[in-house]
Amino acid sequence: MHERHTPSEPDVLDAPTETDVLVVGSGIAGCATALAAAREGADVLLVTKATRPEETTTHWAQGGVAIARSDPESFEQDVLAASAATADPEAVAVLVDESREAVEDVLVETLEVPFDRVADESDSAGFDFAREAAHSEERILHVDASTGKHVLGPFLNHLDAHERVTLREDTAALDLIADEDRVHGAVVETDGETAPVFAGATVLATGGIGALYERSTNPATATGDGIAMAALAGADVEDVAYIQFHPTAYAGEDPFLVSEAVRGEGALLRNGDGERFMPDYHEDAELAPRDVVARAVADERERTGEVALDVGPVEFAGEFPDLAAKCEARGVDWREGIPVEPSEHFLCGGIAVDDRGRTDLDRLFAVGECARTGVHGANRLASTSLLEGLVWGLRAGESAADESATGLDHDRVDAPDCRDSDPNLPEGFARGKFVRLRRVMDDRVGLRRTPEGLERATAVLRRLKGEVDAYTRTRTSRSLYELRNASVVALLVAREAMAAEPVGCHALADAEEVTANASD
């Protein structure tokens, strides 16, 4: 494993900064964007509020990176089928067509990610391709069940040494610098100091919204920052009603994701009565699409008290040593089954972008989980998130570098004011509001939703956003802006869920009852 070395501390932001391409976020999508832009000759400033890789969603990714092998068409069909036929076929074609070249170029040749290999040296490919739910063949490159951290460390090291890339950690973007339909950069904060960064092109790669829920497979930094900033600047946001819940997160203190690859190797889901139940829910049983498995697990937990993942059919300690170690560290005897429950995992929608990551605001791009490319539709296929971030990051980086050549204006617009005229926030203000927000999202905008619950959630979230806005008008702090961003995105999710088609990740309880009654 490549260890991530710590760069020198950033200078205090006491003057405006100017760069060709500004990238906000340091997961695989942001890193791929920075790499591609730098390769095109652009000077890149990558800012991230993370201070270590563990604070990015990419680091937490377990399963791996799916690529097209001998049958690309089957890969496309698997993505479309998992999305309940709601994904954009053209976007899916881009993902699949460019998957192998992007992975070979960046992950294998440039970063030398140590993907697992087969013991049989006669295999010409050499890689140990895994299979996960809703995939029709083994096509997933992985490093044990901890792929993300083996990708991100080398990527950050590579960029840190690149002459055209500047990394600034512990730096949060607070607001975009926008004028009508054009973005000129962002206001950023480091160690309590704020300053504008003017850029020829700005790329948001801020990850997902896991912090809006009590239990999530995302880090606490996933507060929806990029989506909120883009929406407040006037960018279109689409498909945010479609939030994927992973069916097998450890159901205990200090939760962790139990990779879908474990079920791909043969692990079985059993309810509190010891019964295997997935064949009753879907013909593909444990390898059904995630939304199906997640709801089935929730149903069986409610009906029988618990659900456990039976890893008896799998060489668990040998195939998944990292997961076995996590179980043992928590006192879980995986031989007796791993208690699991659904947990917020991935936002399928986000800032609407085209096939180059462009938003509908001039010089603003978005990539990764904060972007809506159309690849996922209403439900994401396993092990396509790292791939999407890589493919769209490379595409957006190239386009951003090209557009940045004429993007820096000497007659600049004024940056938003970051006011600090009132006293500091009351102690515990942001924390308390976050507790309230998460309670509403868990209860009303979670795995199962009702029209009445969404209406109530929208009303509560609207009031909460108003309370937070009253403070952001006169105070500036990272925690307050994260709360603002979370409240903006939560309200967007609830509002869209009231009108969105109930398909894939977005399940309305009464719609399911109507379907069940009609089939009786």
CA gap 198, 187 in Å, rounded: 9
Active-site residue 444, yes or no? no
CA gap 132, 375 in Å, rounded: 18
Q: Is the Cβ–Cβ distance between 37 and 400 less than 8 Å?
A: yes
* Four-residue CA torsion sign, 435, 439, 341, 454: negative
CA gap 449, 506 in Å, rounded: 8
> In one letter, which amino acid is 210?
G
With H, G, I as helix, E, B as strand and everything else as coil, classify residue 79.
Answer: helix
CA gap 120, 126 in Å, rounded: 8
Q: Is the Cβ–Cβ distance between 442 and 214 less than 8 Å?
A: yes
Q: Is the Cβ–Cβ distance between 372 and 349 less than 8 Å?
A: yes
CA gap 132, 266 in Å, rounded: 10
Phi, psi of 275 (to 5 degrees): -90, 140
Torsion, Cα 160 166 172 177, to 10 degrees, reads -150
Torsion, Cα 357 358 359 365, to 10 degrees, reads 70
Look up tokens 């996933």; give the residue.
222
CA gap 39, 331 in Å, rounded: 47
- Token duo for residue 310: 């039976």
DSSP code of residue 333: -
CA gap 164, 46 in Å, rounded: 11
Q: Is the Cβ–Cβ distance between 380 and 348 less than 8 Å?
A: yes
The single residue of 164, 263, 290, 475 carrying the catalytic annotation is 290
Q: Is the Cβ–Cβ distance between 368 and 27 less than 8 Å?
A: yes
Active-site residue set = 290
